[in-house]
Amino acid sequence: MDAKKLLHNKMVIEEINRHKWLESEIAGCDIGFEAAAKDWIKNHAEAWVSYYANKKLTSLLTSRQGLIKSIFPKKKYSEKYGTKL
């Protein structure tokens, strides 16, 4: 997993900032973005990437299925080709 690439993603930055806030509350002081980013990448990035990759694929498939259904409306075989053989 490329950490530099992840750090260019706006959603990742939001997750790291959320993580920074939570960890700072636990520590009782501001842990800083760099420490939060290192910890988040080490402990949470893999699961986050897996979840969002899956979500993106599901979304892509759903949108394509909707497009296919709109182009090719579902018809019964007999309506389309006559009686089944």
Residue 18's pLDDT band (cuts 50, 70, 90): very high
Would 80 be classed as within a structural domain?
no
pLDDT band for position 13 (cuts 50, 70, 90): very high
- Residues contacting 13, CB < 8 A, separation 6+: 7
d(CA 84, CA 77): 7
pTM: 0.64
Residue 32, phi-psi category: left (phi > 0), alpha (psi -120 to 50), beta (remainder): left
Type of residue at 57:
L
Q: Count of domains in the chain? A: 1
45 contacts 3 by C-beta, under 8 angstroms: yes
pLDDT at 72 over 70: no
* Residue 44 maps to a domain: yes
> In angstroms, how far apart are the furthest CA atoms of the chain?
75
Tokens, residue 26: 């636990």
Domain that holds residue 54: 3-73
